[in-house]
Amino acid sequence: MIEQSKSDIAHNMAVITDRIKQACSKAKRNPNTVRLLLASKTVDVPRIEHALSLMDKPLMGENRVQELEQKCPKLSQPHPEVHFIGHLQSNKIKQVLRWADCIQSVDRPSLAKKLQNRLLFEDKHMDILVQVNTSYEDSKFGVKPEQALDLVKKISEFDRIHIKGLMTIGLFSADKDKVRACFQRLVSIRQEIESQQIPGVEMAELSMGMSGDLEIAIEEGATIIRVGTAIFGERQYPDSYYWNEQRT
């Protein structure tokens, strides 16, 4: 069965690569400007490693601290780049700093403050993206679009945290215009932030687009797309398991 699932993954990776190429050609973009991140929640290490082995610049993202801690030590050397893409509770910062190269889901000043303090304590630095709730759904985490600039300004005061761009989860909808509107909102927030020329703040990365909407995201300027289902198959848990966690 493992062999079977490996060839499935290889096939799915080829399909995704092709989708990226097609979307880039439609948007007149260079495919090298779009990075694929494997959204590997619920997927076991052998399958993740198989997918990573097919990538030029292996990049994976985990949603839950528990899975991050379980899987990362088992990944063979050299390690892939690992991003944390789930809701981060401040009492789990320490574990995430141990394994992640970037936290894509910073969405509130209190979390940033605690992150800064821990980074000072460990004498480390961390790259982050600011997560924006562009769909205004209550079930989604992320700062409200209207408050994104303010949050970025606050975080920019923390010298150990390096803002590299923005992340969002688009609306789950068959209405492509509504999905697109979410991504366009992220782009316009980026423009607003860039125009302020805040010292230390970079806006190079736009992490947006998943299995169902990556073409739209690429057309709107995504630099990182986060893909799970289209590579690894359906998950056994509903996404609400990951996105409706209790806030602390």
Contacts to ligand PLP by CB under 6 A:
39, 41, 63, 85, 169, 210-212, 226-230, 242
Report, in Å, the least distance between residue 103 CB and ligand PLP: 12
Report, in Å, the least distance between residue 229 CB and ligand PLP: 3
Nearer to ligand PLP, 147 or 211 (CB): 211
Report, in Å, the least distance between residue 39 CB and ligand PLP: 3
Residue number of the CB closest to ligand PLP reads 228
Residue 94 per-residue DSSP state: H
The Cα–Cα gap between 174 and 204 comes to: 29
Q: What is the SS3 string spanning 108-173?
A: CHHHHHHHHHHHHHHCCCEEEEEEECCCCCCCCCCECHHHHHHHHHHHHCCCCEEEEEEECCCCCC
Report, in Å, the least distance between residue 15 CB and ligand PLP: 13
Nearer to ligand PLP, 109 or 212 (CB): 212
- Cβ atoms of 209 and 216 closer than 8 Å: yes
Nearer to ligand PLP, 36 or 119 (CB): 36
Residue with tokens 């981060």: 88
Nearer to ligand PLP, 117 or 229 (CB): 229
What are residue 115's phi and psi, to 5 degrees?
-60, -50
